[in-house]
Structure 1
Amino acid sequence: MLARVPKQTISFLLLLVGCVAFVGCAAEKNVALVDDPDARKESQIPWNKQEKWETQQSQFTGMTDHR
């Protein structure tokens, strides 16, 4: 018959394993499960990028936005 392990010992070991796993994950800066080589740090939507029609010269360039 196997030796009986007290519940307190099992609880302590599970708590210790949980703490080690938590600290290990908290110390990592890159915690992604899969490292995507195409991932970019900037946003996918260029919020401040002007569109082509906003920057190109047109026939109405001199007539609008007078302040």
Structure 2
Amino acid sequence: MATNIKNVIVVSASGLVGSTTVSTLLSFLHGYSVSTLSRAESSYIPPAGTTSIKTDYTHGSLVQALKS
């Protein structure tokens, strides 16, 4: 049975690869929910249309981020 993925989290969204990935997802994959994961102390401002998740990248904070 095929699984339709509709929720995507981009890890390290403030980096070069992550930010490019977010832009591409928003441009081409309409109907998807895109979340960005970045360090809690980062000044990164995610683009409109995404959900921002701040983390310290510890196991507990990553588990919590993936549950949300």
Structure with greater helix percent = 1
Query: Rg bigger for which structure?
Result: 1
Structure with greater strand percent = 2
Q: Same fold (TM over 0.5)?
A: no
Higher relative contact order (Cα pairs below 8 Å, separated by 6+ residues) = 2
Q: TM-score range by the shorter chain?
A: under 0.3
TM-score, normalised to structure 2, is 0.23
